[in-house]
Amino acid sequence: VSTSPQRNTPTTQRSAPTQDSVRRQNLGALLRYVHVSGATSRAELTNQLGLNRSTIGALTADLAGAGLIDEGVPQETGRAGRPSLVVRPRSSRVYGYAMSIEVDRLRAARVGLGGKVLDSRELPRPHGTAVHDTVATLAGFVRDMQHAVAAAGPADAVFVGSGIAVSRMMRHADGTVRMLPAGPPLSPDAGLGARLGLDREPVTGNVADLAALAEHTRGAATGLDNVVYLHGDAGISAGIIAGGRRVTGHGGHGGEVGHMVVNPQGRDCGCGSRGCWETEIARSVPLDRDAVLAVVEAAGSDPAARAAVRQAADWLGFGVANLVNVFNPTTVVFGGALRELYLAGAAHVRGRLSTMALPACREHVRLRTPLLGDDAPLVGAAELAFERLLRDPLETADAAA
Amino acid sequence: VSTSPQRNTPTTQRSAPTQDSVRRQNLGALLRYVHVSGATSRAELTNQLGLNRSTIGALTADLAGAGLIDEGVPQETGRAGRPSLVVRPRSSRVYGYAMSIEVDRLRAARVGLGGKVLDSRELPRPHGTAVHDTVATLAGFVRDMQHAVAAAGPADAVFVGSGIAVSRMMRHADGTVRMLPAGPPLSPDAGLGARLGLDREPVTGNVADLAALAEHTRGAATGLDNVVYLHGDAGISAGIIAGGRRVTGHGGHGGEVGHMVVNPQGRDCGCGSRGCWETEIARSVPLDRDAVLAVVEAAGSDPAARAAVRQAADWLGFGVANLVNVFNPTTVVFGGALRELYLAGAAHVRGRLSTMALPACREHVRLRTPLLGDDAPLVGAAELAFERLLRDPLETADAAA
């Protein structure tokens, strides 16, 4: 897509760069590099960031001064000559909180810069618990982890931000799963930070978007610019990366691919429509991880279960083909409950793809499973927690210290 | 979408900014501003670009020195005090060529910086003419316009680039329209520039993408970040803007929304699949501008035509609802042959949208028709022609002079 003009019309024009903003951007780029890649030699940073050695030296000095990185001599390289200093994120000092409110569980983790999980908590989400009612549980997790870090140190540990992945679904008391009503399910405007015992507002995103962000940053889609990540968790939502950027839509509600209608003669869906993609799949195999596993296991000996897997995988491929025609991705990742369904019915998925997607759109598509597995939403929430720091390292570190 | 982290992992890391690149970026931002907005006072530039007056002065001096803009005293403002100088693009001096290869016609225009059409040519595209065979006709257009500018001046006119919008469809000798085979229909690698009589390679894009770019830059979607532009021209392709950027997919083949399957029991489609969106619409109303107009006109008196419009509009809304669930846009624009169909059946389109799209995804959607009408692909191609100049004004102007 090197010929794609990047749009920059007056109405969305951002301020033009100044020397200050350039320095901030370079500091952010360097810190992001070591956050994602881990320990990196100065030589590699020089190379990767396209800056000269003295600039890299000045930037690392600033970041080290702010307590965000440290530098050291690398382990034996086996090469002659003076080794290049290695820059590492200070993972045990600089941390954020990542939380996820999923259909059936609540999780929180204290995560160090560099993506290292330092501490974590998890509980089932009781059926019928509204998103807002989960905040007290999450606040308990946070309090616990705050006490742990206060007791065990390090003494100079510094909290830089938090992120929360929120599912758009909830399981009702009767066991059924329903979409939440429209509107942001959890708004940082409402003093959410204070209710969580945090002195700055968290950043929120939805589970599929953040799982996609995680796989894109550290998983099966690292470095890929056009990715459709499908998350099966009661329904199907997508996290979409196009041209290297997340596609979230105007209100952050994009990616509701499960409610793409694929069968006008299909079954009524809980959303009020009929023949939605996720509903047609769930006619054969309910989109719950446990249910999928049970059917897939039974398919080894039970012809009815085998037929159910075949039908569900066929519908899965049907919707994937539509998305491939729309997005021309290189990679489709099957996450959450879709992972096992895809693995059990890959031939049917591929069959639909080859008959329904245009050759030009599908020719470079690879079908993948997640590398981060069930941790993807939480890992993605942690990326949100560090966003502000990575945009403006010194200012954020200063405000946090 | 202010909370969306912008991705910047190592593998896609671009070089970090230096002073040179900052200056280039600021020159580009200023030139782009006047290219899109026309004559602009220095005061407004200072304000819009977030740079101080002396920087704006230095940038305009550089751009004026390169012959890209001029500055003058504004017309009577009615205000007291010394008026701010007005910066204008030098539209008659700095120009590019825009071309479009549509299903039924070939067009070319000489377009001045600022988007001003200085000269234009058009011929029907003979049925069965492959894209490559249209190049000779376009080269004739270009030669003609080159002679005209050589004869009539200005003497210092300077050519900075060209863009071509290419339809993915062609009309065969028997009148049927078919998709082109996979692969880029027109590749600048093959010495295309030389065959067109141009001393630099053109930039190519597809008709729907460039029509969307045009409406986004100067039309019904100006300044909007999440837009689905639907182009009806034998089939349906989409040009998609998400988060302010074009979504084109890995090979530029994204947006093939016409081949999203909406009806598993539907009619066979020329693409090899069945029940594709565009095929279901075309069962009732063929997606040709003339055919649409004929049916829409007949609907005034003929119940059968009225039923056809209703059915086609109903299917139109069906697919729009799916795209709204996927993209959560603020704006859907109905272009090409879809314009009249939408206008004749808007109630049915809205009906489908309200029953099939999720409230969260549709609540801010506005349905619109294009402002640029049939010129959109050509206007979009002109934007491509200026892309390089707007990215690096001085270097490009220098190489062109």
DSSP secondary structure letters along A299-323: TTT-HHHHHHHHHHHHHHHHHHHHH
**Chain A residues near residue B49 by CB distance under 8 angstroms:** 13, 15-16
Inform me whether the C-beta atom of residue A355 falls under 8 Å from chain B C-beta atoms: yes
Residue A338 Cα to chain centre, angstroms: 16
In this prediction the pTM is 0.89
Q: Return the beta strands (E) in B209-350 as ranges.
A: 227-233, 235-242, 245-247, 331-336
Q: Does the pLDDT value for residue A346 go beyond 60?
A: yes
Closest approach of A301 to chain B, Cα-based (Å): 30
- Which residue of B247, B281, B383, B396 is the best one to mutate when testing the A interface, meaning the one whose CB has the most A CBs within 10 A? B247
Give the pLDDT confidence of A197-232 residue by residue, as tens digits.
998 899 999 899 999 999 999 999 999 999 999 999
**Chain B residues near residue A204 by CB distance under 8 angstroms:** 3
Residue B12 Cα to chain centre, angstroms: 26
Give the pLDDT confidence of A29-82 residue by residue, as tens digits.
999 999 999 999 999 999 999 889 999 999 999 999 999 999 988 776 566 667
Q: Does the pLDDT value for residue A363 go beyond 70?
A: yes
ipTM over 0.85: yes
Q: Compare all CA atoms of chain B with the CA of A352 and give the residue at the minimum distance.
A: B273
In this complex, do A242 and B238 lie within 8 Å of one another by their Cβ atoms?
Answer: no
Tell me how far apart the alpha carbons of residues A221 and A330 are, in angstroms, rounded to a whole number: 9
Inform me whether the C-beta atom of residue A87 falls under 8 Å from chain B C-beta atoms: no
Instruction: List chain B pLDDT tens, one digit each, 401 residues.
Output: 233 333 333 333 456 677 788 899 999 999 999 999 999 999 999 999 988 999 999 999 999 999 999 998 877 666 666 778 899 999 999 999 999 999 889 999 999 999 999 999 999 998 888 888 899 999 999 999 999 999 998 999 999 999 999 988 777 777 777 777 655 667 777 789 999 999 889 999 989 999 999 999 999 999 999 999 999 988 899 999 999 999 999 988 899 999 999 999 999 998 899 999 999 999 999 998 899 999 999 999 999 999 999 999 999 999 999 999 999 999 999 999 999 999 999 999 999 999 999 998 999 999 999 999 889 999 999 999 999 999 999 999 988 88
The pLDDT score that the predictor gives to residue A329 is 97
- Give percent above pLDDT 70 in chain A: 92
Residue B198 Cα to chain centre, angstroms: 22
| Least confident window among A6-15, A344-353, B75-84, B232-241 | A6-15
Provide the token pair at A286. 């309910």
Interface of B with A in 232-261 (CB under 8 A): 238, 241-257, 259-261
**Chain A residues near residue B264 by CB distance under 8 angstroms:** 262-263, 318
Cis ω before A329 (30° cut-off from 0): no
Inter-residue contact B26 to A227 (CB < 8 Å):
no
Closest approach of B189 to chain A, Cα-based (Å): 13
Inform me whether the C-beta atom of residue A126 falls under 8 Å from chain B C-beta atoms: no
Inter-residue contact B285 to B341 (CB < 8 Å):
yes
The pLDDT score that the predictor gives to residue A67 is 96
Interface of A with B in 23-62 (CB under 8 A): 25-26, 29-30, 32-33, 36-37, 48-51
Q: Does the pLDDT value for residue A183 go beyond 80?
A: no
* Kind of pairing between the strands at A331-336 and B203-206: unpaired
The CA distances from residue B242 to A40, A312, B210, B216, B228, in Å, are: 34, 31, 15, 11, 8
In this complex, do A51 and B18 lie within 8 Å of one another by their Cβ atoms?
Answer: yes
Q: Does the pLDDT value for residue A261 go beyond 80?
A: yes
The CA distances from residue A186 to A190, A235, A388, in Å, are: 8, 20, 19
Inter-residue contact A254 to B327 (CB < 8 Å):
yes
- Which residue of B15, B30, B261 is the best one to mutate when testing the A interface, meaning the one whose CB has the most A CBs within 10 A? B261
- Count chain A–chain B contacts defined by CB atoms under 8 A: 296
- Which residue of A201, A230, A253 is the best one to mutate when testing the B interface, meaning the one whose CB has the most B CBs within 10 A? A253
**Chain B residues near residue A241 by CB distance under 8 angstroms:** 7
Q: Which residues pair with A171 in a beta bridge?
A: A177
**Chain A residues near residue B213 by CB distance under 8 angstroms:** 5, 7
Comparing CB atoms, the residue among A17, A182, A390 nearest residue B22 is A17
In this complex, do A12 and B244 lie within 8 Å of one another by their Cβ atoms?
Answer: yes
The pLDDT score that the predictor gives to residue A175 is 72
Tell me how far apart the alpha carbons of residues A401 and B63 are, in angstroms, rounded to a whole number: 45
Amino acid at site B58: A
Closest approach of A31 to chain B, Cα-based (Å): 11
Comparing CB atoms, the residue among B22, B181, B321 nearest residue A22 is B22
DSSP secondary structure letters along A225-256: SSEEEEEEESEEEEEEEETTEEE--TTS----
Interface of B with A in 263-292 (CB under 8 A): 263-265, 271-273
Cis ω before A202 (30° cut-off from 0): no
The pLDDT score that the predictor gives to residue A78 is 63
Tell me how far apart the alpha carbons of residues B132 and B205 are, in angstroms, rounded to a whole number: 15
Q: For B66-109, where are the alpha helices, taking DSSP H only?
A: none
Q: Does the pLDDT value for residue A382 go beyond 50?
A: yes
pLDDT average, residue stretch A7-15: 42
Closest approach of B27 to chain A, Cα-based (Å): 9
The pLDDT score that the predictor gives to residue A77 is 59
- Which residue of B40, B46, B326, B384 is the best one to mutate when testing the A interface, meaning the one whose CB has the most A CBs within 10 A? B326
Q: Which residues lie closer than 8 Å to A110 by C-beta, 6 or more apart?
A: A95, A96, A97, A117, A118, A119, A120, A145, A148, A149
The pLDDT score that the predictor gives to residue A184 is 62
In this complex, do A326 and B325 lie within 8 Å of one another by their Cβ atoms?
Answer: no
